[in-house]
Amino acid sequence: MDFALSTEEQELQAGARAFAAVIAEDSMERDATHEFPRALLQEAARLGYWGLGIPKQFGGLGLNMLEQCLVLEEFARADASLHVTLSVHNSLACGPIIRWGSLAQQQEWLPNMAAGHTLGAYALTEPSSGSDAAALRTRATRDGSGWLVNGTKLWITTGVSAETFIVFARTNPELPKTKGISAFIVSGDAAGFTRGKPENKLGIRSSETVQLFFEDVRLPIDALLGEENSGFSYAMATLDGGRIGIATQAVGLAQAALDAAVATLKVHASAKGCAFTSQQADFTLADMAVRTTAARLLVWRAARLRDAGQPHTPEASMAKLFASEAANKNCRDAVALLGGAAYTGGLAERLLRDARVTEIYEGTSEVQRMLVARSLRGS
Ligand SMILES: Cc1cc2nc3c(=O)[nH]c(=O)nc-3n(C[C@H](O)[C@H](O)[C@H](O)COP(=O)(O)OP(=O)(O)OC[C@H]3O[C@@H](n4cnc5c(N)ncnc54)[C@H](O)[C@@H]3O)c2cc1C
């Protein structure tokens, strides 16, 4: 497989890097205040970054997965919070509508999602179902000419500001638990739908994470996405792409930790004369660079398989597993290299906090290992 980037891919990467420099400017302040970056997100929409994979006919950029990875890595390198907002919007909210939506649904939802009018969210997790997502309890029942939805979702990214939700609910409790689930497109202004208060998180603090409550929410019949009772397979297939997106977040964080370590040690080298030349520091930096590059290549491999329409579940899991562990190790190493100055605040400390969640959401590292092992056993 050829991993050299084309001229067009390099230009796309350079454009994202230029916008990432703007993202980085106030990222520390947003981390401190937990402010959701509305103005910056509008600027991202103006540049087309709300419609990364949305076909051009609906106002998007129509990028393939590898191209999306090049853009998303740059955003994560600048601010993992803004990254996850755009990654979830593009991969988990727009993605299922692009793949399973009817033409009428695509025409109704995608232009607004590309143009910066409606952010998207993905609501799978519940208080009683995380890793075992198929155990979800939210119910959708047929009600006259539509659906009636009741239940609670937990830890939903962009849950406060999103206006378009992909919601998974049980439609047939008689079927085995992975078979009786359906996916719905829900508007944020649906009566009976309410949002909880943002969680106070360890990291990615300027992204939103909230509970969602559905109390007798009536949906029109055409809110159903794709086939009835096929929702769990859509959820899992969507997560294959979402995991590649989160893996780009991890690669961006790993690179940012390396950048921070190199930049600070260069200053220390001139000020103190010895830190940067010590062999232990050099070996640590070299390992950080190898880890980051290996993670990036795993991400690009998974993206290219997805673009080629080939199965890529274990490859997406490998990319997410390796990249998230690389990000966490690099961030710990950066803090170790920089010492107390990093522990008591500054960029490396934020990166360390931001990186932790990459090993948790869109499937924990244990879940990724189970998926890789399952493919090895052919089960
Ligand atoms: C900041 C944040 C944002 C999120 N955003 C979203 C979102 O937008 N939409 C959404 O639907 N969800 C979201 N989630 C939920 C996320 O996907 C879940 O947290 C994740 O799937 C893990 O579920 P859990 O937290 O309930 O952990 P649990 O499933 O309770 O797992 C706890 C521990 O047990 C381990 N474990 C569980 N089962 C097994 C097993 N069979 N074998 C071995 N080990 C196991 C896990 O690996 C983990 O270490 C978000 C979570 C966070 C923290």
Q: What is the pLDDT of residues 65-84, one digit of tens each?
A: 999 999 999 999 999 999 99
The closest alpha carbon to 184, from 221, 143, 136, 237, belongs to 221
Quote the ligand 1 centre to 133 CA distance (angstroms). 9
Q: What is the pLDDT of residues 45-70, one digit of tens each?
A: 999 999 999 999 999 999 999 999 99
Pocket lining: 131 vs ligand 1, CB cutoff 6 Å: yes
Q: What is the pLDDT confidence band of residue 264, given thresholds at 50, 70 and 90?
A: confident
pTM surpassing 0.75? yes
Q: What is the pLDDT of residues 239-252, one digit of tens each?
A: 999 999 999 999 99
Q: Does pLDDT of 34 surpass 60? A: yes
Q: Does pLDDT of 379 surpass 80? A: no
Whole-angstrom CA distances from 63 to 30, 92, 137, 230 are 29, 15, 35, 27
Cα separation, 293 vs 66, in Å, equals 15
Q: What is the pLDDT confidence band of residue 279, given thresholds at 50, 70 and 90?
A: confident
Residue 362 CA, closest ligand 1 atom number: 17
Pocket lining: 165 vs ligand 1, CB cutoff 6 Å: no
Share of the chain above pLDDT 70, in %: 97
Phi then psi for 288, rounded to 5 degrees?
-65, -40
Minimum CA distance residue for ligand 1 atom 25: 130
DSSP letter at 94 equals: I
Tell me how far the alpha carbon of residue 248 is from its chain's centroid: 8
Quote the ligand 1 centre to 157 CA distance (angstroms). 13
The mean pLDDT of 336-355, rounded to a whole number, is 92
Q: Residue-wise over 110-137: b if at least 16 C-beta within 10 A, else e?
A: bbbbbbbebbbbbbbbbeebbeebbebe
Cα separation, 164 vs 120, in Å, equals 5
Quote the ligand 1 centre to 326 CA distance (angstroms). 19
Residue 157 CA, closest ligand 1 atom number: 8
Cα separation, 67 vs 312, in Å, equals 17
Residue 158 CA, closest ligand 1 atom number: 8
Q: Does pLDDT of 312 surpass 70? A: yes
Cα separation, 136 vs 168, in Å, equals 8
Whole-angstrom CA distances from 245 to 21, 67, 163, 197, 251 are 20, 11, 21, 26, 10
Per DSSP, helices labelled H in the chain are 7-25, 27-33, 38-46, 65-78, 80-87, 95-100, 103-115, 231-272, 279-307, 313-338, 340-343, 347-355, 365-377
Q: What is the pLDDT confidence band of residue 6, given thresholds at 50, 70 and 90?
A: very high
Tell me how far the alpha carbon of residue 296 is from its chain's centroid: 16
Residue 159 CA, closest ligand 1 atom number: 8
Quote the ligand 1 centre to 130 CA distance (angstroms). 5
Q: What is the pLDDT confidence band of residue 342, given thresholds at 50, 70 and 90?
A: confident
Which is more confidently placed, 343 or 33? 33
The mean pLDDT of 299-308, rounded to a whole number, is 97
Q: What is the pLDDT of residues 112-125, one digit of tens each?
A: 999 999 999 999 99
Q: Does pLDDT of 271 surpass 80? A: no
Q: Does pLDDT of 340 surpass 90? A: no
Contact criterion met (CB below 8 Å) for 209 and 189: no
Pocket lining: 361 vs ligand 1, CB cutoff 6 Å: yes
Cα separation, 226 vs 355, in Å, equals 34
Q: Which of 361, 362, 368 to mutate to test the pocket of ligand 1 (most atoms within 8 A of CB)?
A: 361
Instruction: Specify the pLDDT at position 2.
Output: 57
Cα separation, 175 vs 159, in Å, equals 30
Instruction: Specify the pLDDT at position 70.
Output: 98
Q: What is the pLDDT confidence band of residue 273, given thresholds at 50, 70 and 90?
A: very low
Pocket lining: 81 vs ligand 1, CB cutoff 6 Å: no
Pocket lining: 157 vs ligand 1, CB cutoff 6 Å: yes
Contacts of 318 (CB under 8 A, 6+ apart): 298, 302, 368, 372
The closest alpha carbon to 302, from 68, 9, 61, belongs to 68
Q: What is the pLDDT of residues 159-192, one digit of tens each?
A: 999 999 999 999 999 999 999 999 999 999 999 9
- Cβ atoms within 10 A of the Cβ of 180, count? 18
Instruction: Specify the pLDDT at position 341.
Output: 84
Q: Phi-psi category of 15—alpha, beta or left, where left has phi over 0 and alpha has psi -120 to 50?
A: alpha
Instruction: Specify the pLDDT at position 265.
Output: 82
Strands 120-123 and 164-170: parallel
Quote the ligand 1 centre to 265 CA distance (angstroms). 36
Contact criterion met (CB below 8 Å) for 363 and 371: yes
Whole-angstrom CA distances from 355 to 54, 144, 155, 359 are 28, 47, 17, 8
Helices 231-272 and 80-87 meet at what angle, rounded to 10? 160
Contact criterion met (CB below 8 Å) for 294 and 352: no
Q: What is the pLDDT of residues 92-139, one digit of tens each?
A: 999 999 999 999 999 999 999 999 999 999 999 999 999 999 999 999
Contact criterion met (CB below 8 Å) for 183 and 59: no
Q: Does pLDDT of 272 surpass 90? A: no
Quote the ligand 1 centre to 341 CA distance (angstroms). 32
Q: What is the pLDDT confidence band of residue 277, given thresholds at 50, 70 and 90?
A: low
Instruction: Specify the pLDDT at position 31.
Output: 98
Instruction: Specify the pLDDT at position 339.
Output: 85
The rounded mean pLDDT for the chain is 95
Residue 46: burial class (beta carbons within 10 Å; 0-12, 13-18, 19+): exposed
Contact criterion met (CB below 8 Å) for 229 and 171: yes
Pocket lining: 136 vs ligand 1, CB cutoff 6 Å: no
The mean pLDDT of 263-271, rounded to a whole number, is 72
For each of the domains in the chain, give its residue range(s) and CATH number, in order of start. Answer: 7-119 (1.10.540.10), 121-229 (2.40.110.10), 232-377 (1.20.140.10)
